[in-house]
Amino acid sequence: MGTHRFKDQNWVLGHFTKKILVHCPKCQEKAEIKNPGFGKTSELFCSHCGLHQKDNRIYYDLYLNIHCPDCGNPINLEHKGIREKKETIRVSCPNCDFVGDYKPKYIKYSYSSAFVDTELWLEKDFKGELFFACNYEHLEYLKQYIQAKIRERKDGTYMTMVEKLPQFIKSAKNREGLLKLIKQLEEK
């Protein structure tokens, strides 16, 4: 048996999140979240019980740039990730305590939370640490990395997924235990 070699493909975690395997919130069997990307609707499908859910949340970034009508002090507000738009907001001047109602500007965007409260199908405790994979492709990539005694970087222009892995995954002393855990997850 030769030495296992891993060559980093410069992938970030997002490479593996287009399809995420989870426990169905209804029947706890394996379900799939199709996650088409930012601003698009994620959908959960369970082939076991037929559950089909969509998750698309609307958010707003609020901006207000005014001058206080009493003292002329600039008042600049910026609040990101607001769930509800309001026609007017009440604003106090920090300089003179003037209070007035103003109509803010909003930028609307949608964000798919990818069912963040849903438990991943491919996750398991390893010595008090959470080991997880989004799908079987992700699990295989992690397996290749963990079993490799030689790990090569392809390019140093940005931090790749494997560079951000927790130390317990990078550590050679955990190699055998992690590979056993991966085998269990592969059979799931």
| Per-residue pLDDT tens digits for 121-145 | 999 999 999 999 999 999 999 999 9
161: helix, strand or coil: coil
Residue 35's pLDDT band (cuts 50, 70, 90): confident
DSSP class of residue 116 equals: T
Whether the per-residue pLDDT at 1 is higher than 50: the answer is no
Half-sphere exposure of 166 (CA within 13 A, CB side): 10
C-alpha to C-alpha distance for 43 and 35, rounded to whole angstroms: 7
**Nearest 10 degrees: Cα torsion 61, 62, 66, 69:** -170
46: helix, strand or coil: coil
Pairing mode of beta strands 5-7, 150-152: parallel
115: helix, strand or coil: coil
C-alpha to C-alpha distance for 133 and 147, rounded to whole angstroms: 16
Q: Please write the tens of the pLDDT for every residue from 148-171.
A: 988 887 766 678 898 899 999 999
187: helix, strand or coil: coil
For residue 9, give both structure tokens.
Answer: 């493909």
DSSP class of residue 59 equals: E
Report which residue type is found at 4.
H
Ramachandran region of residue 37, left (φ > 0), alpha (ψ -120 to 50) or beta?
left
Report which residue type is found at 151.
R
User: pTM above 0.75?
Assistant: no
